[in-house]
Amino acid sequence: MKNKVLTALILALITVSCAAQTRDSLDLKIAQMLLIGFRGMALPDNDPFLRDVREGRVGNVILFDFDVPTKAYKRNIESPQQVRALTAQLSKAASQSGTGLPLFISIDQEGGKVNRLKEKYGFAPSVSQQYLGKINNPDTTRRYAAKTAQTLAENGFNLNFAPSVDVNVNPENPVIGKIERSFSAEPSVVAAQAGIIVEEHRKKGIVTTLKHFPGHGSSKADSHKGFVDVSDSWKPDEIMPYATLIAAGKVDMIMTAHIFNNRLDVDAPATLSKRVITGILRDSLKYQGVVISDDMQMGAIADHYGLDVALEKCINAGVDILCFGNNLQYDPAIITKATDIIKRLVKEGKISEARINESYKRIVALKQKMKS
């Protein structure tokens, strides 16, 4: 009898040890560094993407309403009931992965024109950040922010890629100012408004993301479509909202910009720049939280760098989560491709395991904070 008990105890310890090794494996750490978009209003049980979530190969997802490659409003969002069912399905799959970590289920819900949960689908109406910045009334901003956070929480989201803290340096900027994504041309107004957004989201357990570091407000072109150089237009004031909010403890996550600025780095755009991400954001501004890239499939990166080079530079720059929205181009194999490339780069010594561990620890810390 004693031998049977001892054998059972040893087997249990081996099982726990194996599970711990699995949870801490390089594959798992890389999975937590991937945020991936997918197609489907609902996913059949044998769907490859759902299987990847269930088996712990991807730690973060993003939902869209519009599918860019097919130019159709048939992607992930149709109605509140459908969205709640889909996010519940994803959360359940993640809980079966054995990682013990929740899935970041994310969305771009700034309000105004960057608004995936539209009124036409049955969601609450929203307003743009420019609208709130012009009024510049804390109570008004708080009311709209609380409504957005409530909508996200009710529908199964826990990560919002908002607020944008780009300063409105160029009102004709096609991707920021012209579509009302900036609160103001005054950095102090931007910081104050964004701080309220963060506060209200935190009350509902929603992680927020400041974007796009170190500032996309002065650009004259759209980095979704190609190379964007802000060397002559960027102003140091564009970093001020980040500095203010970091010092105030009101930052959960920061998204990089794919803009090139030779005053900050003569060799690489911000997303791929160690001088910008580690040197300025982490060392100078003392930010030690999660950094996520803007979509790695955007033209500013994808048209100028191979995936191998982009991943190597991005991770070594200090980025923790790699965003593949899978909506500028659709690649159903992107999880396997990115994972295999990163593992090979680690094996070749081009990315250190210590660097992977840094990102993994930051991501886990944020997810555990979100759960508490």
* Strand ranges, E, within the chain: 34-37, 60-62, 104-107, 109-111, 114-115, 159-160, 207-208, 210-213, 253-256, 290-292, 322-324
Angle at 321 between CA 191 and CA 202, to 5 degrees: 45
Q: What percent of the chain has pLDDT over 70?
A: 91
- pLDDT greater than 80 at residue 1: no
Q: Average pLDDT for residues 18-36, to the nearest whole number?
A: 77
Q: Residue 228: pLDDT band by 50, 70, 90 thresholds?
A: confident
Q: Average pLDDT for residues 122-129, to the nearest whole number?
A: 97
Give the chain's radius of gyration (CA, Å).
21
- DSSP line for 307-336: HHHHHHHHHHHT--BEEE-S-SS--TTHHH
Active site residues: 294
- CA dist., res. 49 & res. 76, Å (int): 13
N residues, the chain: 372
* Strand ranges, E, within 2-46: 34-37
Whole-number pLDDT of residue 226 = 59
- pLDDT greater than 70 at residue 9: no
In tens, the pLDDT along 317-367 reads 999 999 999 999 999 999 999 999 999 999 999 999 999 999 999 999 999
> Please, are residues 93 and 56 in contact by the beta-carbon 8 Å criterion?
no
Phi, psi for residue 254 in degrees, rounded to 5: -130, 135
Q: Average pLDDT for residues 205-210, to the nearest whole number?
A: 98
Architecture of domain 26-371: Alpha-Beta Barrel (3.20)
Question: What is the pTM (predicted TM-score) of this model?
Answer: 0.92
CB atoms within 10 A of CB 297: 22
Q: Render the burial of 39-56: b for 16+ CB within 10 Å, e for the rest.
A: beeebeeebebbebbbeb
Mean pLDDT of all residues in the chain?
92
* Strand ranges, E, within 234-325: 253-256, 290-292, 322-324
Burial classification of residue 69, based on how many CB atoms lie within 10 Å of its CB (0-12 exposed, 13-18 middle, 19 or more buried): exposed
- pLDDT greater than 60 at residue 229: yes
Whole-number pLDDT of residue 19 = 38
**Spans of all domains in the chain:** 26-371
In tens, the pLDDT along 152-170 reads 999 999 999 999 999 999 9
Q: Residue 18: pLDDT band by 50, 70, 90 thresholds?
A: very low
- pLDDT greater than 50 at residue 65: yes
Mapped onto helix, strand or coil, the DSSP state of residue 160 is strand
Residues paired with 60 in a beta bridge? 35, 104
In tens, the pLDDT along 267-308 reads 999 999 999 999 999 999 999 999 999 999 998 788 889 999
Whole-number pLDDT of residue 270 = 96
- CA dist., res. 321 & res. 326, Å (int): 15
